[in-house]
Structure 1
Amino acid sequence: MCLSAVIGELPEQGATRLPKLVIFDCDGVLVQSEEITLSVLISLLNAHVHDGKTLESAYFIEHFRGRRIAECLREAEQLLNIGLSGEFEEDFRAQALAALTLELKATDGILEVLEQLTIPYCVASSAPRKKIEHCLQLVGLLPYFEGRIFSCYELGRWKPDPLVFLTACATYNVAVADARVIEDSVTGIQAARAANIKVLGFGPVHRHAKLAEAGALPFADMRELLTII
């Protein structure tokens, strides 16, 4: 199915149809990586500050969640009035990878969901494929997603652009009315909404108001997904 055919079958967000495809985000949905990688990023950014102004960790973990790292770095340069070297992102990714290797865990309940899910599923992430595969490999989930990975880096467009979700639907020959997206970030929810795909917002209860405001149906326990869909 071509992208134009997928886009041509736009449902209302509240439409209720049994899905034919579940599209998972990776960071914050399949694996609990956002706090790890963004804590590393904020620490490295604050180390470049010379005038005492720093980024508050809890706020900026939420603010940067789900966004392309290059975009976060541009914003941080403006906020902190600093200039970052061309090697900064490379250094960050190396340190984040080391931290993930030591600390990363699969989302509680996700393995049970994948074992019981009877409809096709895939992962669509703003992260590079290498990072997606590494994270999934670390927690034992890669076998469930081999051949089912969609990376924004390979499309050249990042969430909140909907292309990665539309590409997943087209690849599986599924209309957007028959897909469900599972996201943890406002940016990801915006991308799903732009694709007109019904989106579920995964996260702890204290984040539910933010997820609902962005347009998702919030839930806190991954095991609930089998009932919700």
Structure 2
Amino acid sequence: MCHSADIGELPGQVKTAALVGVPKLVIFDCDGVLVQSEEITLSVLIAMLNALAQRETMLDVTRFIEHFRGRKIADCLREAEQLLNVSLDDKFEQHFRQQALEALTHSLKATEGMIEVLEGLTVPYCVASSAPRNKIEHCLRMTGLLPYFEGRIFSCYELGRWKPDPLVFLTACDTYGVDVSDAVVVEDSVTGIQAAVAAHISVIGFGPAHRHSQLAAAGAVPISDIRQLLAIFN
């Protein structure tokens, strides 16, 4: 289905090597793809962790936003306990999720051009995320995207396996009756890209230019503007 080619430039962007051919299903990640939530929620998490840390062990915000991006929060917390030499109880994650939802409510925005993409796609699409369903729905509701994804949401929490495990992507393909060779995943994290590669699904890596080498090394075709999808698929 997919071959390598150049697509046209968008204003202020370089020409990008991209996948061409119309897929039968587009699977979007939520955080960092549909909505710009990763920096918001992970900034909250790192601030809460640093409040418990000694000065010499405090986490660098920029570095650990990238390090934790796309990963299961429980795994991030277990790693943070070792890095900071602290013990986190169950209430910490609950408190974090409450603060993160409040921050998202005040600051969350849909990715620029996302509604244009959703209205321009001529093939089925869905969202497959490592986040809990209530967070996915909250993010989509706050940004006006929920009507586009009602009945099209797949959460790792409901499957009991998280990216980079490919199950959430395989479940989406199975639900839509689409072979993995006819699907495309759009991801912003190395963890998510690894899940798509493990599922043998072509993957597009969405992120700013300075992350393109990281996304490409993980196995994705990088793009900087979500509207490039319309040029790739149509």
TM-score range, shorter chain: over 0.9
Give the SS at the match of 2:222: strand
CA contact (8 A) 1:17 1:177 kept: no
* 1:110-160 deviation per Cα after TM superposition (whole angstroms, max 9, x unaligned): 000001111000000000000000000000000000000000000000000
Provide the rounded CA distance (Å) in 1 between the counterparts of 2:186 and 2:68.
18
Deviation of the 1:78 alpha carbon: 0.5
1:96 aligned partner: 100
Choose the corresponding residue for 1:170, options 160, 174, 191: 174
TM (norm. structure 2) is 0.91
2:225 aligned partner: 221
Give the SS at the match of 2:185: strand
Choose the corresponding residue for 2:113, options 100, 106, 109: 109
1:158 aligned partner: 162
Aligned residues: 219
Choose the corresponding residue for 2:145, options 137, 141, 148: 141
CA contact (8 A) 1:23 1:179 kept: yes
* Structure 1 gap ranges (5+): 1-10
Identity of aligned residues (%): 71
Provide the rounded CA distance (Å) in 2 between the counterparts of 1:208 and 1:16.
19
Change (3 A) 1:216 1:123: same
Provide the rounded CA distance (Å) in 1 between the counterparts of 2:97 and 2:195.
24
CA RMSD of the aligned region, Å? 1.5
* Structure 2 gap ranges (5+): 5-18
Provide the rounded CA distance (Å) in 2 between the counterparts of 1:13 and 1:25.
23
Provide the rounded CA distance (Å) in 1 between the counterparts of 2:34 and 2:120.
15
Choose the corresponding residue for 2:129, options 125, 128, 132: 125
Report which structure shows greater RCO (CA 8 Å, sep ≥6): 1
TM (norm. structure 1) is 0.93
Structure 1 segments of 4 or more deviating over 2 A? 11-18
Provide the rounded CA distance (Å) in 2 between the counterparts of 1:34 and 1:83.
24
Provide the rounded CA distance (Å) in 2 between the counterparts of 1:22 and 1:153.
21
Deviation of the 1:92 alpha carbon: 0.2
